[in-house]
Amino acid sequence: MVRPSMLLALGALAATAVACAPASETTTQTNSAAPSTSGAASSACAKESLALKTPGKLTIGTDKPAYEPWFNDDDPANGKGFESAVAYAVAGQMGFAEGDVTWATVKFDSAFAPGAKQFDFDVNQVSVTPDRAKVVDFSKGYYTVKQAVVALDGSKVAAATDLASLKDAKIGVQVGTTSLQAVKDVIQPSAELNVYNEQIDAVNALKNKQVDAVVVDLPTAFYVTAAQVENSKIVGQFGAASGVPEVFGAVFEKGSPLVSCVNEAIDKLTASGELAKIETEWLGSAAGAPELK
């Protein structure tokens, strides 16, 4: 939890607003879920050669609830939403039909915790970081993301134009996320952070005016303002302190031989323009979110 313009796509979302699991009523699906044997160009990545959790089935993990705009209707298996569409596009490149894909429920922070996994790979807006890469493997990035600050209209931080104006704000953020780390590293607030186990808890805290602002990834911020919290706005967006772009990657059990095969699929989707089409359809652009420095 990145849809032609984000504003247009989320305009449609807002019209059919569904918090956490609401969804656009559009029935159009991309062709990304169609299987493609061309994705298994190397013999090691041929479908029959893959070491899978369940023979013949590709098991993909994600959290529940599965939030907009990454998944629609809290149903990863419907092919709608950015990460669902990407997952099926990758599966198709690897030679899997839709019916050969199964979904496993995996809590966000469990996906990149040490140990054996119940999935072949996981997609859940997991940012690639050096610390996480010590205990799990990652694919190439399939989305480059920035963090965003969301506040209620008329609040003391709603008119902020720079990061310094957020120093004294009471900020809500989800535990275990790069959003949390970004707040600590980039905003460096003087007030104690309000850290929540689930994203929806942080969003509800904003709705109930228990915090001045929440920090989430930018696509999620557009959804929060369009469908979850009335009279809210995106104050602005900002990047990581290091200046290195933050990317979401598929997560694998450490040492998984599937990493190179998924990377091969991502390369093909990038070269063909299909990955960009999926991003545009479900996440749109960052128009309307000023840069905070």
Q: Would you say residue 102 lies in a domain?
A: yes
> Quick one: which of 255, 249, 257 has its CA closest to 52?
257
Q: Would you say residue 35 lies in a domain?
A: yes
Residues 121 and 172 in one domain: no
Q: Would you say residue 190 lies in a domain?
A: yes
pLDDT in tens, 167-198: 999 999 999 999 999 999 999 999 899 999 99
Q: Would you say residue 292 lies in a domain?
A: no
Residues 197 and 210 in one domain: yes
Q: What average pLDDT does the structure give for the chain?
A: 87
**Domain termination residue (choose one: 220, 238, 256):** 238
Residues 276 and 193 in one domain: no
Mean pLDDT of 150-163: 96
Give residue 285's pLDDT band: very low, low, confident or very high (50, 70, 90).
low
Residue 128 belongs to what domain range? 6-143+247-282
SS (H, E, C) the chain: CCCCCHHHHHHHHHHCCCCCCCCCCCCCCCHHHCCCHHHCCCHHHCHHHCCCCECCEEEEEECCCCCCCCCCCCCHHHCCCHHHHHHHHHHHHCCCCHHHEEEEECCHHHHCCCCCCCCCEECCCCECCCCHHHCEEEEEEEEEECEEEEEECCCCCCCCCCHHHHCCCCEEEECCCHHHHHHHHHHCCCCCCEEECCHHHHHHHHHCCCCCEEEEEHHHHHHHHHHHCCCEEEEEEECCCCCCCEEEEEEEECCCCCHHHHHHHHHHHHHHCHHHHHHHHHCCCCCCCCECC
> Comparing 242 with 269, which gets the higher pLDDT?
269
- CA 205-206-209 angle, to 5 degrees, is 85
> Quick one: which of 93, 70, 90 has its CA closest to 80?
70
Q: Would you say residue 291 lies in a domain?
A: no
pLDDT in tens, 22-77: 333 333 333 333 334 344 446 789 999 999 999 999 999 999 999 999 999 999 99
Q: Contact 180/195 with Cβ under 8 angstroms?
A: yes
Residues 122 and 253 in one domain: yes
- Which residue type sits at 137? D
Residues 121 and 255 in one domain: yes
> Comparing 16 with 64, which gets the higher pLDDT?
64
pLDDT in tens, 213-259: 999 999 999 999 999 999 999 999 998 888 789 999 999 999 999 99
Residues 119 and 194 in one domain: no
Specify the number of domains making up the chain: 2
pLDDT confidence of residue 133: 98
Q: Contact 279/82 with Cβ under 8 angstroms?
A: yes
Residues 204 and 75 in one domain: no
Residues 12 and 105 in one domain: yes
CATH of the domain at 33: 3.40.190.10
Residues 221 and 268 in one domain: no
Residues 82 and 127 in one domain: yes
- Determine the Cα–Cα distance for residues 143 and 279; give it in Å rounded to an integer: 8
Residues 20 and 104 in one domain: yes
Rounded to a whole number of angstroms, the CA Rg of the chain reads 19
